[in-house]
A and B are shown apart, each in its own frame.
Chain A
Amino acid sequence: MDIILQFIYSFFATSGFSIYFSAPLNSIIPSGISGAISWSIYYYIIHTYNSKIIAIFLGSFIVGVLGEVLAIKYKKPATVFIIPGIVPLVPGAGMYYTMLALVENDFIKAASFGTETLFAAAAIAIGIIISTSFSRSIRSFKKAA
């Protein structure tokens, strides 16, 4: 039940973001769905296996794959779907907690939140890169065949 609510919340959050960055009208709902799916996967993994970086990595990998699929379907560049899709995974909260720990003079906590935030950003990038290069090699493989 909880995960369904999270799905709905993240759908609206992602769609809102794509409106804010002026995405094309017919791409708002698909990118909302891709953001919601990736956030639900993240939410599920983090609550069952308690591993944040893997959860973020898998979430952004899914965003990348969905972005490539939607790009073919809607004949738009994959970025159109990837930029809004990764927004729920972006470590904005991590940044906030790092700052909060710094303000409270708790430097150990700040360092651990800070490194986690950095790793999260790197995990998003790696997830996207892997899915993009996969789709590129699949495409060139199809062309060669």
Chain B
Amino acid sequence: MNHFTIKDREEVKNLLTLALTAGIAMLKNGAETYRVEDTMNRICISRTNIKNVDSFVTQTGIFLTLEYEGEVFTYIRRVKDIGYNINKISLINEFSRKFVSTNISIDEGLRMLEEIDRFKDYSILVKLFGGSLLSGFFSLMFGGSFGDFLASLIASILSLAILEKLSKYKLTFFIDRFVGAFLASVFSYLALKVGIAHSLDNVIIGTIMPLVPGVSITNSIRDTMSGDSLSGLSKGVEAILSALAISFGVGIILNFYTKGLI
């Protein structure tokens, strides 16, 4: 049976749902906007009697429109809470390639997307271990001693674990980053007091590293330079605000520390 031609309006709706589900899943896991637009357009245009496909993606929402037998269909979806999951981006990319080039029915495609959504992530402990590995070795890269390495490792695993516990209350990203950086510098300070660490600078620099919005800053500049100024701006504002939140969190402890209050 040939699935490359759309038979009725019901199927058009399903195709739109499929493209939107794929697009939202990519955007929510940290893909760039141009990649999301490209994926959705390719999925829709792969069916022969669909014309005039166009999509508009910003960091906060997706618009997708297409024409089927002289009728225009448009869907809008709002997107909130963006995280990072590189594995899912890669899986959906793979799926869209397969969907475009082989004879997969739309229902089957939707089922495959659901499977990707349920895909098992690494356990929380492994992820915390990864984050603390980043922190520990980062303080070494900035010239820290072995004690600083241990201190960053411990401080980062504790603060990330507490953040993970807090994440079920759905704090906004600003509060989340603020609390994370505050906890990171509290634990770093404690490590210095106990005597594991030797330099507060190195330990804090390592410990805040998993929170720093490096990817969003880079992606926002990339988006702006390639013409997606709207999503570039919204991503950039978010990145600058989370950098500010981190600075506030670190600044409180540093302020007390440099003035000798603690």
* A20/B32 in contact, CB under 8 A: no
Q: How many A-B residue pairs have CB under 8 A?
A: 156
Let me know if B86 and A23 touch, CB within 8 A: yes
A90 within 8 Å of B by Cβ?
yes
- Chain B residues with Cβ below 8 Å from A17 are 130-131, 134, 210
Contact call B35/A77, Cβ cutoff below 8 A: yes
Q: Is the CB of A83 within 8 A of B84?
A: yes
Shortest 10 CB-CB contacts between residues of A and residues of B:
A19-B130, A16-B133, A90-B214, A125-B221, A13-B137, A16-B134, A20-B130, A20-B131, A92-B212, A23-B86
Once the chains bind, are A103 and B127 in contact (CB under 8 Å)? no
A16 contacts B130, CB within 8 Å? Answer: yes
Contact with B along A82-100 (1 / 0, CB 8 A): 0110111111110111111
The residues of B that contact A9 with a CB separation of less than 8 Å are: 137-138, 140-141
Q: Which of A6, A19, A24, A104 contacts B126 (CB 8 A)?
A: A19
> B residues touching A (Cβ–Cβ < 8 Å)?
30-32, 35, 84-90, 93-94, 121-122, 126-127, 129-138, 140-142, 201, 204-205, 208-210, 212, 214-215, 217-218, 221-222, 225-226, 243, 246-247, 250-251, 254-255, 258
Residue A15 interfacial (CB < 8 Å):
yes
With contact pairs A13-B134, A16-B133, A18-B130 given, residues A83 and B140 touching in the complex (Cβ less than 8 Å): no
A128 at the interface (CB under 8 A from B): yes
What distance in Å separates the Cβ of B97 from its nearest Cβ neighbour in chain A? 9
Q: How far is the CA of A125 from the CA of B204 in the complex (A)?
A: 25
CA gap between A119 and B129 in the complex, in Å:
31
Chain A residues within an 8 Å CB radius of B134 = 13-14, 16-17, 20, 87
Besides the contacts A19-B133, A76-B90, A92-B138, what 12 more A-B pairs have beta carbons closer than 8 Å? A16-B131, A17-B210, A21-B86, A22-B85, A77-B35, A79-B35, A83-B86, A89-B214, A95-B212, A96-B250, A102-B251, A125-B222
> 10 A-B Cβ contacts within 8 A?
A18-B86, A22-B86, A24-B87, A76-B93, A76-B94, A90-B214, A92-B209, A96-B201, A124-B218, A126-B221
B121 close to A22 (CB less than 8 A)? yes
Measured between beta carbons, the chain A residues less than 8 angstroms from B35 are 77, 79
Docked-complex contact B90 and A80, CB < 8 angstroms: yes
* Min distance, Cβ A41 to any Cβ of chain B, angstroms: 14
Query: A18: shortest Cβ distance to chain B, in Å?
Result: 7
Contact A99 B250, beta carbon cutoff 8 Å: yes
Determine the chain A residues whose CB is within 8 A of the CB of B86 once the complex forms: 18, 21-24, 27, 79-80, 83-84
Which chain B residues border A103 with CB–CB below 8 Å?
Answer: 251, 254-255, 258
A interface, size bucket: 35 or more
Q: Which residue of B lies closest to A125 (CB)?
A: B221
Q: Which of B93, B221, B222 sits near A77, CB closer than 8 Å?
A: B93
Q: Which residue of B lies closest to A118 (CB)?
A: B217
Task: Check: A10 CB closer than 8 A to any chain B CB.
Answer: yes
State whether A99 touches B87 (Cβ < 8 A).
Answer: no
Contacts A21-B86, A22-B87, A128-B218; is A96 near B204 (CB within 8 Å)?
yes
Smallest CB gap from B224: residue in A: A125
Q: In this complex, what residue of A is CB-closest to B248? A: A99
Beta-carbon contact of A95 and B247 below 8 Å? yes
Could you tell me the distance between the alpha carbons of A97 and B205 in the complex, rounded to whole angstroms? 9
| Known A-B contacts A16-B131, A20-B134; A87 and B85 likewise in contact (beta carbons under 8 Å) | no
Contact A129 B214 (CB under 8 A): no
Contact yes or no, A19 B127, CB < 8 A:
yes
B89 touches A79 (CB 8 A): yes
